């Protein structure tokens, strides 16, 4: 198991997602980055939605080469999206990728969803490992969604990031409205909207009379009036680009808490 196929001078680009190796969005993203470098795909064997930044510690990981052609290697891994990034960077590859792209996710990952999203988990993991990283999501859950506009937009953003770079500890969360390029009004750099999911568990009873619950719910927007957030941009048919940081420290609170004299 090696990555000899990728031994040339072009930039090395790592592609992953959380919908799994078979997802249409992944194949589309591979097409976006193919002209830009040597591409290595390490994607989950099965869908890993909601897996966030989880890692697999209780069971062993496996990976398998699924496809090989010049400048393109595709593997699947039985772990989470973050496991995929770790396996690629720490086990498979001999050099650090120049770029990590995750997606294109089938479904939105704006606002608070960054916390639950495997797409963004993988993106943040790339960023922690000091790789310029971008997560892409399309606002359609359909498995056969139309990625035509998404591909054009992702290509534009990827090329810009490869040209400009990203600072250490910063990655991008890109969400794309579902529609044609003509319908999309432009690209907005935004902040993460504040909100949360109000869960409405769907309570059922199994044949033995025991209750069980399906997680369901709706998004509560805590700042619906704000005009500079990703939720606003998407609602108004703009692509949202939110720069995310891996330093979670609330720096402005440090002095206040120091005054508590703990």
- Smallest gap from Cβ 163 to a copy of itself, in A, equals 9
Which of residues 82, 154, 158, 184 is near a copy of itself by CB under 8 A? Answer: 82
Residue corresponding to tokens 């692509």: 239
Task: Give whichever of 95 and 201 is closer to a copy of itself, judged by the CB atom.
Answer: 201
Q: Which residue has the tokens 């090329």?
A: 159
Whose Cβ is closer to a copy of itself: residue 66's or residue 187's? 187
Which residues, numbered 146-175, are part of the site for a copy of itself (CB under 8 A)?
Answer: 156-157, 160, 164, 167-170, 172
User: Quick one: which of 113, 108, 125 has its CA closest to 175?
Assistant: 108
- Buried b or exposed e, range 204-240, using 16+ CB within 10 angstroms: eeeeeeeeeeeeeeebebeeeeeeebbbbbbeeebbb
- 203 part of the interface to a copy of itself, by CB under 8 A: yes
Q: Does 114 bind a copy of itself (CB under 8 A)?
A: yes
Which residues, numbered 211-230, are part of the site for a copy of itself (CB under 8 A)? 211-215, 217
Residue 18, Cβ neighbours under 10 Å: how many?
33
For 166, counting Cβ atoms within 10 Å of its Cβ (0-12 exposed, 13-18 middle, 19+ buried), the class is middle
Answer yes or no whether residue 52 interacts with a copy of itself by CB under 8 A: yes
Least Cβ distance, residue 18 to a copy of itself (angstroms): 11
Considering the rule CB under 8 A, would residue 68 count as an interface residue with a copy of itself?
Answer: no
Both tokens of 185, joined, read: 């009004």
Contacting residue, 37, 121, 132, 177, with a copy of itself by CB under 8 A: 121
Which residues touch 31 (CB under 8 Å, ≥6 apart)?
Answer: 151
Query: Closer to a copy of itself at the Cβ: 9 or 252?
Result: 252
């Amino acid at each position: 198991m090696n990555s000899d196929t990728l031994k040339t001078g072009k930039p090395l680009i790592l592609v992953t997602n959380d919908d799994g190796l078979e997802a249409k969005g992944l194949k589309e993203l591979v097409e976006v980055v193919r002209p830009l470098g040597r591409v290595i795909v390490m994607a989950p064997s099965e869908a890993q939605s909601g897996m966030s930044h989880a890692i697999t510690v209780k069971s062993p990981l496996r990976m398998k080469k699924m496809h090989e052609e010049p400048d393109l290697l595709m593997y699947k891994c039985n772990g989470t999206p973050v496991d995929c990034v770790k396996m690629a960077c720490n086990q498979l590859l001999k050099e650090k990728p120049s770029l990590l792209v995750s997606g294109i996710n089938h479904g939105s990952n704006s606002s608070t969803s960054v916390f639950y999203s495997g797409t963004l988990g993988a993106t943040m993991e790339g960023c922690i490992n000091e790789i310029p990283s971008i997560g892409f999501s399309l606002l359609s859950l359909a498995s056969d969604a139309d990625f035509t506009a998404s591909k054009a937009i992702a290509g534009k953003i990827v090329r810009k990031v490869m040209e400009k770079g990203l600072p250490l500890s910063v990655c991008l969360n890109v969400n794309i409205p579902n529609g044609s390029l003509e319908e999309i009004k432009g690209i907005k750099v935004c902040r993460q909207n504040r909100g949360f999911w109000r869960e409405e568990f769907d309570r059922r009873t199994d044949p033995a009379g025991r209750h069980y619950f399906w997680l369901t719910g709706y998004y509560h927007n805590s700042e619906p009036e704000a005009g500079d957030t990703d939720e606003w941009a998407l609602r108004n048919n703009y692509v949202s680009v939110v720069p995310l940081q891996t330093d979670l420290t609330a720096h402005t609170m440090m002095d206040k808490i120091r005054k508590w004299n703990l």
